[in-house]
Amino acid sequence: MGYKFRNRLSQVNLTEKFKAEKASLEKEFQEVLDTQKHYALYILDLAKKYGGRAVLHDKAYGSWQETSWNQLAEQMHAVASALLESGIKEEDRVGIFSNNRAQWHIADLGSMLIRAIDVPVYPTNSTKETEYIVNHSGLRILFLAGQAQYDRAYPLLDKCPGLEKIVVFHRGTKIASDPRVMMWDNFLDMGRKAGHKDKIEDIKKRCHYDDVCTIVYTSGTTGEPKGVVLTHKNFMHNGWSIGKYTQGPFSPDDSTFSWLPLSHALERSWDYGFLTSGAHIWYCDDHTKVMEYIQEANTTHMFNAARLFEKVYSTLFTKILEAPKKKQKIFFWSIKVAKEAGDMVLAGQMPPLTLRFKRAIADKLVLHKVRDLFGKNMHHVGSGGSSLNPEIEKFFFYCGMLVTQGYGLTETAPGIIFNGHEVFRLGTVGGVVPLSEMRIDAATGELQFRGPNVFKEYYKNPQATKEAFTDDGWFKSGDVGVMDKDGFVAITDRLKDLIITAGGKNVAPQKIEVLLCEDHYIENVAVAGEGKKYITAIIAPDFINLAEWASKNGIKYSSNEELIAKPEVVALYKDIIDKRQKDLGQVEQIKKFTLIPRIFSQEAGEVTPTLKIKRKVVLNNYKALVEAMYAE
């Protein structure tokens, strides 16, 4: 069949199962805590077990380089010693301002070894955004990737009174002749020479799973970011509950492709789960090369943002529709056969022999090519961060690759609801993980949580911490959702994002935005309509794809401004919107739209580092355009 999984959702309701097994699950999780104790200690134990076996793989210098378990352990000790030599004490804060690469985890784990608390900074953050985190968290040392981060961070040595040292990972970075700046290799050498073995051994005795592991600053869509305080226990619960009961178990033969920012709790927690399973991590430090690196790495797993699947899906279908008729016929026949067989599998039925035979032919002709876009070994891909259209989920399933959604927040370390390999329901984010609880507020529909993975507090912000919980101790997610009879949860929108029209109708803008952004020619959408008679949208085209379309259609232009003003381009987008929203209710449909000459940017404050749209900022930035769409 080409499927490596079967849907067994009819056999079990995970929510009820976990409730019934609570006592045994609590005992099992405590055994995990007692075994692992603390991430730095557990990684050192695994290094003794796996020795010279490769564990980290990155391409920061143009070709894939390996770091073995032995090398990882040695460099962790060198980092810990160098931090001590630099005056860092237990519970001091150390920052990591870098894209994904082996040094990210080495600096992270080395800091943990002396019970320092690391504070990740998104690699795309501006000087101003980084300055806020440095000052608020009290960072003393900042590790950073290379030239881009160095140029933004170096001025902070004079602007931030607590920042004492910058350590630069990437060789070849042009740095100032300043004793406060060190290259990574020199930093490690300093640690090796300093030794501090006895001090490190003494500190290791105090390492515990209740230690603060990190302070992650949320890339909130409103206001200043808040520092989410997460313990080792929070992350360990994530690794145990998701790895064992929904996504795994992972094994030392597994591998993951790490490209979502490690500065976000999602990728970090996911990677911790692989590290503690003895598995491999392959890093991507350049988002423009994701699809190229995926095929080279050939990993078994990865976690993606929904946007990547949307881009692959829309690009694939756009190219097919431009292909010769014979190729189109083969493609759509193969997808039709795969859908017929896949729908039977989803219903728990075995397709008949003739259909299995047809699907095998379809697999040889088309389906395996779709899977191979993600590498030949990819077994399972998770999706999170935003909703993924069930149509796209099912498409990849029909092609033989399971893409399942999960849900969580930084405050839940982050995964608290997940689909698994064998128990899943497409179109949902899954079931609540073991030892965590969820309830739905009757008045608002808000999802509320409690459990071992819920964060400790917001750093230096007791008022925000208080406001984040109900009087009886449940964390308020701010997300609206529903749960079906089998325990599967669907997220419908953000509580604060709901638009109430002049007619009193509630409209969920994210649903509309996600629907439109699946198109090949659309990069960003911000929906407006609060207190208005109808819905409008600010749309940022995908200018790479739009330029190709303009060239094929003989449209000449000298700037993006000129391009989006062309009547043919406006007509193209009207047709796209009309087709995309045909199944939406009348009140949800976009009546007017305006194209803008650039995509939403972090620099303009319009998106977070994780590319979530700050809708209020976008609509304020384009206030005049929005008002013009409502002018009579």
pLDDT at 248 over 80: no
pLDDT for position 9: 43
Report domain extents, the chain: 38-207+254-290, 498-630
Cα torsion angle, 70, 118, 60, 272, sign: positive
- Please report which helix (H) or strand (E) contains residue 95, including its range: strand 93-97
Pick 297 or 288 by higher pLDDT: 297
pLDDT at 555: 96
Model pLDDT, residue 244: 67
The closest alpha carbon to 622, from 507, 224, 225, 605, belongs to 605
d(C-alpha 44, C-alpha 207), whole Å? 13
**pLDDT attached to residue 220:** 57
Residue range 194-233, pLDDT digits in tens: 989 999 999 999 999 999 999 999 865 556 789 999 999 9
| Per-residue pLDDT, 508 | 83
**Nearest-angstrom CA–CA distance, 437 and 455:** 14
Token pair of 74 as six digits: 């040695």
Residue 607 neighbours by CB under 8 Å, 6+ apart: 524, 600, 601, 613, 614
Q: Is pLDDT of 311 > 70?
A: yes
Report which of 569, 571, 549, 552 is spatially closest to residue 561, judged by C-alpha positions: 569
Confidence band, pLDDT 50/70/90 cuts, at residue 246? low
**Which residues, including other chains, have CB under 8 Å from residue 145's CB and lie 6 or more apart?**
97, 98, 99, 101, 123, 168, 169, 170, 285
Share of the chain above pLDDT 90, in %: 74
Is the predicted pLDDT of residue 355 greater than 80, yes or no? yes
Percent with pLDDT over 70 in the chain: 96
Confidence check: pLDDT of 565 > 60: yes
As a whole number, the mean pLDDT across the chain is 92
The model's pTM: 0.86
Residue at token pair 């209710």: 585
Mean pLDDT of 162-190: 98
Q: Comparing 38-207+254-290 with 498-630, is the CATH topology the same? A: no
Which conformational region is residue 104 in: left (phi greater than 0), alpha (psi within -120 to 50 degrees), or beta? alpha
Mean pLDDT, residues 427-440 taken together: 93
Q: What is the pLDDT of residue 497?
A: 78
Least confident stretch, 30-39, 216-225, 227-236, 494-503: 216-225
Distance CA 239, CA 415 (A): 9
Residue 486, pLDDT above cutoff 70:
yes
Average pLDDT over residues 20-48: 96
CA 553 to chain centre: 37
Of the listed ranges 9-18, 335-344, 416-425, 525-534, the one predicted with least confidence: 9-18
Would you state the pLDDT for residue 8?
A: 45
Nearest to 29, CA basis, from 475, 474, 473, 452: 452
Q: Which residue in this structure is represented by tokens 């869509």?
A: 221
- Which of 35-44, 180-189, 289-298, 312-321 shows the lowest per-residue confidence on average (mean pLDDT)? 312-321
Is the distance from CB of 368 to CB of 400 less than 8 angstroms?
yes
Give residue 16's pLDDT band: very low, low, confident or very high (50, 70, 90).
confident
d(CA 277, CA 390): 31
The pLDDT value recorded for residue 160 is 97
Lowest average pLDDT, out of 18-22, 125-129, 223-227, goes to: 223-227
- Which class does domain 38-207+254-290 fall in? alpha beta
Query: How many other CB atoms are found less than 10 A from the CB of residue 154?
Result: 19
State the pLDDT at residue 12: 65
- CA 598 to each of CA 367, 430, 523, 574, 576: distance values in angstroms, whole numbers, following the listed order: 35, 36, 9, 18, 19
Q: Which architecture, in CATH terms, is 498-630?
A: 2-Layer Sandwich (3.30)
3-state helix, strand, coil in the chain (%, to 5): 45, 20, 35
CA 302 – CA 403 distance, rounded (Å): 10
Query: Which pLDDT value is given to residue 221?
Result: 52
Whether the ω angle into residue 541 lies within 30 degrees of 0, i.e. cis, is: no
Q: What is the pLDDT of residue 608?
A: 79
φ, ψ of residue 594 in degrees (nearest 5): -135, 130
397: pLDDT confidence band, cut at 50, 70 and 90?
very high
pLDDT tens figures, 419-430: 887 788 888 999
The per-residue pLDDT for range 445-459, each reduced to its tens digit, is 999 999 999 999 999
Least confident of 111-120, 390-399, 491-500, 519-528: 491-500
Which one, of 178, 238, 231, lies nearest residue 207 by Cα? 231
Confidence of residue 18 (pLDDT cuts 50, 70, 90): confident
